[in-house]
Amino acid sequence: MKSKEEIRRVNKEVARRFNELENELPTVSDITGLFEVLFAHMENQFEIPFVWLTLIDTEANRKIIDAVKKSVILHDRLSLIKRELLAKIFSAGAAPLLANNSLRQYYKLLPSRKKYFIKSLALVPLYVKGQLVGSWNNGDSSAERFSPEMETSLLQKFAGNVSLRLAELLEA
C-alpha cells in the first residue's frame, strides 16, 4: 500500500499533467483537433495504451461523429451506441467509472475495428449543455492501472474542462 506522501506526490504529478493539457485546450480550433490532442496526451504523458471514444448515435451528435470519423487518427477508435446503454453505465452522473473486474458489461463501448487486451478501464463521461453525449475511454492491460477504489476527482475536473471545450467548439 502506498504511503500518504507517495499518494500526494503522484496526485501532484497527475494534476500537473492535466493542467498542462488544460492549458492547451483553448488553442484547439476544432472537434477533431480536440480529440486528437486528448488522445495523444493520454497516450504519451500518461502512457495509456488504449484510448478511444464512444458516442451516442443520435442526430444531435452528428457534428461530433463526423469530425471524429474524418480523422485518420481517430476514425477507427470510435464506437457508436444507443443512449440507453451509455446512460445506464453512467447512471451515477458525471463521475468517471473505474473498473478492473467484470469488464464484459463494457465491451459494447469498444470500437469494432480495433481489438484491445484490456484488464482495467477508466470510462469518462462527456457532457454538452448537461446532456450526456459520449465517453472518452482509457484501457490498460494491467488490472492494477484503474481500480474502483482510486480517487477520480482530478479526472472528473479535467473531463469537465474537455466537455466545456467541446461545447464551445460545437457552437463555433
User: Structural domain of residue 99, as residue ranges?
Assistant: 4-171
* Sign of the dihedral defined by the CA atoms of residues 132, 141, 10, 16, in that order: negative
Cell numbers found for residue 32: 477533431
Each residue of 76-130: pLDDT tens digit?
999 999 999 999 999 877 799 999 999 999 999 999 877 778 999 999 999 999 9
Residue 96 sits in a domain of what CATH number? 3.30.450.40
Q: Range with the lowest mean pLDDT among 7-11, 19-23, 61-65, 67-71?
A: 7-11
Domain count, the chain: 1
| Whole-angstrom distance, CA of residue 40 vs CA of residue 73 | 10
The pLDDT of residue 1: 54
**More confident position, 114 or 161:** 161
